[in-house]
Structure 1
Amino acid sequence: MSFGLEFTNNSNVVTIDSEFARLMVIASGRYAPTEEGGMGSTTYFARAATSQEPPLVFVRPDTVAGIAGLSNMSLIGSAGNWTGFYVRAYSAAAAQPNGRYFVGAFAAQAVAQYGMRLWDGTGKMLFDSGTPNATFTRAFQNWTYVKSDLTDQGLYRNYYSVPFNFPQNEFMLINNFGMKMVSGGAIPRQLYCTWDFSTGTLYAVTVAANNPFNFFLPAVFAKQAV
């Protein structure tokens, strides 16, 4: 950076500067069942995310004795006014959608009553005292294929796993698990993620009319600054 403002922490890592946006926490809270007999959950943010690009939603499901899982994630709103998100429980046999979330964007919003704000050279707000930052903690895509079976509709269902302990202060990005994947056929692969807290295992589950085995979608995690 040739000019502007720059902060570094005790480890000499740049935490704020005048050129690059960090992942800022726009809103946080809890999600809970709201519809579909406790299977579906619609959550509205305390404040809308005003980014043009879709914001990133990270979740930490409540720890349960069995399986917790989410699917069908979608954002509510449109560019400049993202107001919430929807998720659905993995199945009727899994836990209902309960947990904590935060929504982040690579831009700050004018929230604080006092403090500091920082813009880049184009006028984009990079920092505001009322929107704390989040930090990416880890990502992996070294999934192990476990098995395949058939759904009641005769579709192939594949299971992939990775050992994973889910700390209370870590959240998983779910935007990418709301996407459909290419299957090599007319019907795209549906995608689900589940957590087995009793065995410390994260699962990805795909459902499609044919049965491709390759799976490389990354699981991405972050935590809020404290």
Structure 2
Amino acid sequence: MSVSKKKFNLVVLDMAGTTVADGGLVEQAFSAAAWQMGADPESMIGYVRATMGESKISVFRHLFGGDEGLAQTANAAFEAAYGERVAAGLIVPIPGAREAIERLRGEGRSVVLSTGFARVTQDAILAALGWEGLADFTLCPADAGGRGRPYPDMVLAAFLRSGAADGVQEIAVVGDTSYDMLSGARAGAGVVAGVLTGAHDKAQLVEHGASHVLGSVAELDGLLGELERSS
């Protein structure tokens, strides 16, 4: 594969909260799963909010004290509850997200959509939005050995699979959570951009490694172009 001369040739985008607005469906699905497991959602929601962006099975492993059977059952309940809400049409794109992805690819950049959801839920979201084929490819934790954010594995899997960048410094990672920022920083990405359309605020994003903070993903191509022109 030929490599573009762009400085930021690979863009790894989070989904829920970054490119997809789900109106709090993650918390709703966690609550539904907790009730199904006979647990009190209120006792768990603080941890859920703090770890937005993490692989959901990892969250449930923590919440259920490392009991793998309970964690897997709870995760399946969560994915089912979220999937039902997706099927009901309760998700929409972040304004300008699709257009931003199209512009980024039109500039010769490879774009990867990543998520902490299981593959079945990620595919359901893409189908509901009509986004199949919008990005170069998509990744979930299982595609990167099972470890999701805050580990760098999905970003590095995108780097290895795409062949679009000569080094990790040519990667731009974009997300709305602290764990997105940690993942990008740990991968050595040249740009780690937080967006203010999701779970965490500017202070949280910067504290966990954001090199830039944007109002939304719609501003990303402008930022990358500016950085390239000034380099």
Q: Per the shorter chain, which TM-score range? A: under 0.3
Greater RCO, CA 8 A, separation 6+: 2
Q: Which has the higher helix share?
A: 2
Q: Which has the higher strand share?
A: 1
**TM-score, normalisation: structure 1:** 0.23
**TM-score, normalisation: structure 2:** 0.22
Q: Which structure has the larger Rg over C-alpha atoms?
A: 1
